[in-house]
Amino acid sequence: MRKLSRRLATEAQMLSLGERGFTILETSIAMVVMMVASLGAVSVFAYSIGNNASAKDRELAMSVAQQQLEQLRNVAFTNENLAATSTAGRKAEITSADRHYTAVTTITDSDFVNGQPTLKTIVIRVTPVGSTLGSVTLVTRRATVATGPNR
């Protein structure tokens, strides 16, 4: 019994030396510090989710622009689809992967031989409808195989 009372006395002395645990103030401060760190991590996740959505929009817009460009590459140089356009270009509404896009195609003729163009500059600008992403623009040139004046 005496050993038990000595042990209790020793434990009481240790408790009186400040080993009683955390106070409510210390716990509250620790929780605030942990909350600030957690909110920082959550904001990084929210930022990355937004960037991933924008990257998907950009990827799909680029795909739509490439499809439009391939269609123009597959027609003859003299085809009406390759006729020069005004500065406003030809506008088309396109749906791809359940997303809506506005494609504007501008074609400019240059390098004329005997009144006929031998070079066309094709600019395709695709903009996602209802997105904060700006437009994606592809520019290419297409030449004819017509014989020029120096041949």
Rounded-to-integer distance, Cα 108 and Cα 118, Å: 11
Distances (CA, A) of 70 to 4, 65, 116, 122, 126: 91, 9, 23, 11, 14
Q: Where are the domains of the chain?
A: 20-143
Q: Which three-class secondary structure state does DSSP give residue 61?
A: helix
24-36 pLDDT, tens digit per residue, is 888 999 999 999 9
Q: What pLDDT is recorded for position 78?
A: 85
Q: What is the pTM of this model?
A: 0.64
For residue 112, what is the enclosing H or E element? strand 99-113
Q: Supply the mean pLDDT for the chain.
A: 82
Lowest mean pLDDT among 39-43, 87-91, 147-151: 147-151
Give the pLDDT band (50/70/90) at residue 2: low
Q: What is the pLDDT of residues 123-139, one digit of tens each?
A: 999 998 887 777 899 99
Higher pLDDT among residues 7 and 95, named by residue: 95
Q: What mean pLDDT do residues 21-47 have?
A: 88
Nearest to 142 by CA among 63, 89, 79, 73: 73
pLDDT digits (tens, 9 = 90+) for 80-97: 888 888 888 899 899 888
Percentage with pLDDT > 70 across the chain: 83
**Greatest mean pLDDT range, 6-15, 18-27, 90-99:** 90-99
Q: Decide if pLDDT at 18 tops 60.
A: no
